[in-house]
Each structure stands twice: as structure tokens, then as C-alpha cells.
Structure 1
Amino acid sequence: MIPLKIKELLEIDAYRRTIGTLDHAYDVDLANARTPKEREKAEYRHYWETFLYYEQIAEIKTRRLLRKADRLNIPIGCAGDNSPMWRRSSQLNSWILTPLGCSEVQNMIRQECKDRREHATTWAGVIVGPLTRLVSVWLVARGQ
């Protein structure tokens, strides 16, 4: 069984390749467009063809961030229409973090990891310091 993180990375890569293929097809359509109306139609079609894939990538990134925040017991505000952190996906009918929301959640995750690291470092210093002194006293007592 493939781990979830790798599965999501493979999905994102597949969506990006599909977007690249659609971009190439769009470039061909745009080159063949003769009138401004045809150009506008090609741009509109390209937007809606790629939009679903961008939404799916954003949803995967949102799920990944929320899982990481949940593992660290970081409270994330509920999704709602009035929240600047969330937006409703028109294609997937789900809530996705906005760029501001992603940034905010990432900052909270970084801060929590930093706090935990500092806490562990403090305790390591508290334990290693006396042990070092104890070993040195023991070595002196043995006469070495």
C-alpha cells in the first residue's frame, strides 16, 4: 500500500502534467485563433479546463496542512463564508484554504514545531549537564 503522502504527491504531479498538456493545447488554439472573439473563447475554455485541476491541487494541500496541524493539536478556525482563511470550491463543493489561510496555518505549524524543539532542547540540557558533572566526579574519584 502506498503511503498517503506519496499518493498525494503523485496525484499533484499528475494534475500538474495535465495542466501542462492543457496549456500546450491552449497555446495551439490561441495561435489558430483569428479573431478577438475566437481568442476570448479559447481563453475562457482554457480557464475552465484547468480550473478543476488547480482546485484539486489546492484541496490536497489543504488536507495535508490540516492533517499536520491536527497531529500537532493546533486549533484551526472553522470554515465559513466570513473567514478570510477559507473559500468554498465551486468545482469540488468543499472548503479550501486561501493563500492567506495556508500561510497562517504554515506559520502556526512552524511556531508549534519551534516551541516543541526549544522545550526538548531545554530538557536535554537539564539532563546532560548534571550527567556530565556526575561522570567527571566519578572519573576523578577513580583516580584517572
Structure 2
Amino acid sequence: MFNNILPPTKLLVGSNYHLFKEGIRPMWEDPINAKGGKWVLTNNRQRRARLDDAWMNTMLALIGECLEDDDDLSGAVVSVRKTQDRVAVWTQTATNEPLQRKVGSNFRKVLDLSKNEGLKYQSHADAAASGSSYQNEVYEQL
């Protein structure tokens, strides 16, 4: 599949790819996602070259169950935007902070991030309340 689709860096601005478990919709409103959240890597345009690898490694980690409790993971999204791109892993239980921190730590390893590059976590409830999908971080993986 991966070899037959455009890499994220070749997509038009405003495009997304979603890779979710069967039966789970990539929406806050999906009952499985309603109490969850997402770990987000924000990638500025100066570092755009790493977007394709970040997305491929995220997909492989999900398929290979390398991020922690596979039952808590819903899927992943890559979003191509004008000033920055994002890769996100969606989880199902935002209130389980120890589990979310473990998922974030493993996601950091999968992405091979330096210590000064942050991942942010946001619950879907906070995103829905604020009207923005990338504000009001609950906790940040340092």
C-alpha cells in the first residue's frame, strides 16, 4: 500500500492521511475516540524533509504494535498544512496519564526526536471545547 500512494510531502496543502483500526472513524465524535486524545508532532516547514519518514515510521509502529498498549490506540493521522505539518497518534483513554506518557515516550523513540523536540498531548474533549485540534495541551512529553 505505502508504495502506491503519494508521500505526505507530495500532497496538497490541507490534505490528510488517516490510518485507523477497522471500525474506528478518525473523528472525535466516534464513541471509541470520545474519551481519548492524541500525541502530536508538529513539523515546521524547515524540517519538511523528515515528514515522509515520520509518517512511514508511525504507520509501521502501529502495525507492529510498538507504541505500548495496542488496545488503547485508535490510529494515526498525517496533516499537511501551509506553515507546518503534523503527525498524530490517537489514543482512547486520555485520563490514563501513565499509559499516555508511555505511548508518548515510545512515539518519541519511533520518530527519533532529539531531546529539545517536543511532542504534545491533547484530549479530544479539550480540542472539541476549544474548537481547535491543536491547542490546550494536557501534558507534554519532555
Structure in which a larger fraction of residues adopt helix: 1
Same fold (TM over 0.5): no
Bigger Cα Rg: 1
Under a length normalisation based on structure 2, what TM-score does the superposition of the two structures give? 0.23
- Larger RCO (CA within 8 A; separation ≥ 6): 2
Q: TM-score, structure 1 length as denominator? A: 0.23
